[in-house]
Amino acid sequence: MAMFRSTLLLLPLLLLLVNSCASHGSQAHNHRVVKFGGHHFPIGQGLKASLSDNAGPWDGFKLLLDAKLGEVRAGMANLKMYLLQFGYISSADAPPAGSSFSEEFDSITQKAIQNYQRSFGLPVTGNLDLATLTQMIIPRCGREDVINGTLLMLQNGFDSVPGTQHLGVQHWSSFPGGRRWTKKNLTYAINLSTISSGVSVVDTQNTIDKAFATWQAAITLNFTRIMNIETADIRISFDALDHGDGNAFDGPLGVLAHAFAPTDGRLHFDMEEYWTIDVKTATSSGSFDLLSVAIHEIGHILGLEHSNFQDAIMYPSISPLVAKQSLHADDVAGVQALYEADPKYTGSPVTEGLGSQSGAVASWDRMRTSEGMVLVVCMFMSLLVGRSLLPVIW
């Protein structure tokens, strides 16, 4: 009887916990994992946007999972175009003008996949496995990773190993020949007539200013924004699809932006992306942080190529709603190899190896701890009410 009265007094709390368990299970079922081909894809690990309502141009790659050498699969030609775009298939191995790639998984494609896996620190199998396709679908910068057969992300002679940070090892790369600006005072201008409708003119200007200031803090170059885009050293615009530079954009997701080596000075953002200046308040699950992408592209403007260090600004891929707004030690090492270091630069905690990806992992760990507490409570409640209240977790 005493136990009954105690349970009755606790009934409001019990109902709240029951609702929490049910709600938590529903969220886990609907948002934590998606599946295709018998495989489980954790949300937020590369396929988030591609398997949501915001399917990107590379979403079809998932249908190529576990394709075998010599097999013909619909969509393989598109994968080959991707590998050609980023330099893994050479122009010499591309079909003649007016022709298309075949849908066969051939040896040239397998070799290209192996080099892609080497560049991104994936197991080098040459197979279209889960890890490889997950990485390929993540939106990214439009600059190539391979030039004339050189894997730029391994330019410093380092073949990365998955799951390791290799502190003290340089991952950054630069354009062949070490192309750089020879003058210290550079001007930049933004084509205001093309600014994305998702971000105001003032917010765009302030964000681009902050991106230049991020690099300027580490080196002795000076950047000044001017209004005349015709006379500026660096010219920034938002463009869509084919915009006349030979590097057409592909709509939402896919390629986010691209920039050219010194001293060309062109930097183009894809106008059709959902840009935001605050990922915490973004209204679309396919939104991209403008500052993060701007800092990355300015790195190219300065002469840096891609890094295979995931926490570095110059890592080529970034998922929606991720913010990477500080230089990593790898970025600093690269830019200071091209330009004189600013003696006043002391960096930040991020430059010591704790990039935004590490922060994301920490957040994930905290979420997992919270889930564990919910599971314990739900198990206890199941015993009291006589039915299972455990969340449905795939």
233 annotated binding-site participant? yes
User: What's the CA gap between 265 and 298, in Å, rounded?
Assistant: 9
As given in the structure block, the two tokens for residue 242 are: 């084919």
As given in the structure block, the two tokens for residue 243 are: 């915009």
Q: Which candidate in 297, 305, 352, 371 is catalytic? A: 297
314 annotated binding-site participant? yes
- Please indicate whether residue 297 is annotated as part of the active site: yes
93 annotated binding-site participant? no
Name the residue among 86, 52, 82 with its Cα closest to residue 64.
82
- The 10 Å CB-count burial string (b at 16+, else e) for 258-285 is bbbbbeebebbbbbbbbbbbebeebebe
- Alpha helices of 285-355 — where are they, by DSSP H? 290-302, 329-338
40 annotated binding-site participant? no
As given in the structure block, the two tokens for residue 36 are: 């295709």
29 annotated binding-site participant? no
Q: DSSP 3-state assignment of 234?
A: strand
306 annotated binding-site participant? yes
How many residues are present in the chain?
394
Which residue has tokens 């915490």?
280
Position 351: which residue type? Answer: T
User: What's the CA gap between 376 and 237, in Å, rounded?
Assistant: 53
Contacts of 192 (CB under 8 A, 6+ apart): 201
Q: Are 173 and 307 in contact (CB under 8 A)?
A: yes
Name the residue among 75, 131, 124, 62 with its Cα closest to residue 104.
75
**Strand-pair partners of 34:** 41
DSSP assignments along 121-138, one per residue: T-----S--HHHHHHHHS
From residue 250, give the alpha-carbon distance in Å to each of 114, 201, 256, 257: 25, 24, 9, 10
User: What's the CA gap between 213 and 216, in Å, rounded?
Assistant: 5
270 annotated binding-site participant? yes
Residue list, annotated binding site: 141, 233, 243, 245, 250-251, 258, 268, 270, 273, 296, 300, 306, 314
Residue list, annotated binding site for Zn(2+): 141, 243, 245, 258, 268, 296, 300, 306, 314
Residue list, annotated binding site for Ca(2+): 233, 250-251, 270, 273
Catalytically active residues, by annotation: 297
